[in-house]
Amino acid sequence: MTEEIYFGNDLAWTGDARGEIVFASRQKIKVALPAEFGGVEGFLSPEDLFVAAANGCVLTTTLAVAKKHKVALRSYRSEAVGVLERLGDGREVTRIDINVKIAADADPEALAEIFAEVARRAPVIRSMTSSVSIDFEVVDG
């Protein structure tokens, strides 16, 4: 039997090209159409959230996999860049590049195994049709 876990939110239009998303935790995020498309400057766009979801998923999956392998992380920082392109009659995020800098108490072979598992298992990334590359760099720290 498949285990189902639900993630939901409520969204309300707040005027112009803006809205507010409210999550079950009661946290709120204000969103807007990107300024590049006539939207509002200074707000997160759905495209920003899409790229952030991939980046956040790599972090949380790395934490879970490192814990499973009993590897202590000393630091973790990542940067994600998504590319929005015109395809056919619309636009889509075609590529997300995630660069991770990580310091951990583990040998290089164990870290390589963890990184490979993260790339295979990150559920948000597995759900995306966009090409997602993850580059892990081991640093001192």
CA distance 15 to 9: 19
* Residues 29, 76, 100, 122, CA torsion sign: negative
Its pTM stands at 0.93
76 in the same domain as 127? yes
122 in the same domain as 108? yes
Total domains present in the chain = 2
Q: What torsion, rounded to 10 degrees, do the Cα atoms 45, 47, 50, 52 define?
A: -70
Give 76: exposed, middle or buried? Use CB within 10 Å, 0-12, 13-18, 19+: middle
Using one digit for the tens of pLDDT, what is the confidence trace for 61-113?
999 999 999 999 999 999 999 999 999 999 999 999 999 999 999 998 999 99
CA distance 141 to 136: 15
What's the domain range around 60?
A: 46-138
